[in-house]
Homo-oligomer: A and B are copies of this chain.
Amino acid sequence: MAGTTTTTTNTATGNTNPTANLPPLLDLTIDNITPNTIRINSQASDARLKYLMARLVTHLHDFARETRLSSDEWMAALQFLISCGKICSDVRNEFILLSDVLGLSLLVDNINHPTLPGGTEGSVLGPFHTHDAPVLPNGSSMTSDPEGEPMLALCTVKDLKGNALPGVTIDIWETDSSGHYDVQHADRDAPSERCIMRSDDEGRFWFKGIKPVSYPIPHDGPVGKLLERLNRHPWRPAHVHFKFEKDGWDPLVTALYLKGDPYESSDAVFGVKKSLVVELGKVDKATAEAYGVKEGSWLLKHDFVLSTQKETEELRDRLAVQELEKLGLNMKLVDHLPVPELD
């Protein structure tokens, strides 16, 4: 009947769904399933979600079409995802590992935190950051590993113009000398080899840790099995993680890698940047006395450089617009995130 709009009431969720306004979903095939799935998902009111779903469905379907994905492969993939989910716990995130070894984490980090000239480059967060690290005063020791080789770290954090940045919160974490983060020990009763510091008035922070060692990412789960089938090793070169936060400044997740590590150029999670590879020195007598460590201990010195939130945001927006144009996509940014330009 002309002008009549029928709606379908969803008694299960209480929603009234105007699916009756959509073309019928019948006889879907290899060739028409994609536009139809996108169309039914386009009932979402959130333009960004709608765009994300449209691109997700397109890529997922194209993947199946290009590979002629077999039913067995499809089921194996679902089982793989289930097993990733099952092994996740408060202290293990297999999906971050999966994202890491597929290069997605690196990519998302680079998209979101482009580096301004002179700024410190980012690196992957990895799955071992926790929220229970103790806040320690500068100069403290964050290690409780007597087997580790003592290392003194003397660092600064500055802005792009070279001004000291005081009051920056710095999360620092590394493995113990066996190559395990504290959370990987079943008997962990307190945080270890991790701490939170604050930069002083001159932008300095310093702490006692241990010389990092190379270690394999957890490879006793589904991601480890995948790496094995790909003939890839699970090793990461020795590194210390750092996470910088200060209101108004772009949060920086990065790491410093030891020069000469056997996995320096084959990191299983693609995190290494040349600018983040450092050579350890040795603590001299004066430094040893000043910081209360043994002469000849390992010495890590590094100057970190942050950009402001605004600086990074402007660069990110500019790159987004530029790259989407290159891809031939007609987009606008809403809340700094692309959605299709429909007008």
Listed in ascending order, the chain A residues whose CB lies under 8 Å from chain B are: 8, 10, 12-13, 15, 17, 19-20, 22, 24-30, 33-34, 36-37, 40-41, 43-46, 49, 51-53, 55-57, 59-71, 73-74, 78, 81-86, 88, 93, 95-96, 99, 102-112, 216, 219, 224, 228-235, 262-267, 270, 272-274, 316, 320, 323-324, 327, 329, 337-338
Contact = CB atoms under 8 A, between A and B. Distances in A.
Contacts of A64: 104, 107-108, 111
Given A61-B107, A84-B85, A103-B28, A13 B219 contact: yes
Given A44-B231, A64-B104, A78 B57 contact: no
Contact of A52 (B53, B67, B109, B337): B67
Contact of A25 (B19, B71, B228, B267): B267
A65 B33 CA distance: 24
Nearest to A339: B67
B82 A49 contact: no
A68 B55 CA distance: 11
Contacts of A36: 103, 270
A25 B235 CA distance: 13
Contacts of A67: 51-52, 55, 337-338
Given A40-B232, A57-B103, 12 more contacts: A13-B219, A13-B224, A13-B234, A27-B273, A28-B110, A41-B232, A51-B67, A59-B59, A69-B111, A70-B108, A71-B112, A74-B104
23 contacts: A10-B235, A12-B233, A13-B224, A15-B233, A17-B266, A19-B233, A25-B270, A26-B265, A26-B274, A27-B274, A30-B110, A30-B111, A30-B323, A43-B232, A51-B67, A55-B63, A57-B103, A64-B107, A66-B324, A71-B109, A81-B85, A81-B95, A82-B88
Copies, count: 2
A85 B85 CA distance: 4
Contacts of A103: 28, 33-34, 36-37, 57, 61
B270 A37 contact: yes
Contacts of A229: 44, 46, 49
A25 to B, nearest CB: 6
A10 B274 contact: no
A224 B137 CA distance: 47
Contact of A17 (B233, B273, B329): B233
A94 to B, nearest CB: 8
Given A28-B270, A103-B61, A108 B71 contact: yes
A93 B102 contact: no
A61 B109 CA distance: 12
Contact of A26 (B41, B109, B273): B273
B108 A263 contact: no
Given A17-B231, A45-B231, A274-B26, A65 B111 contact: yes
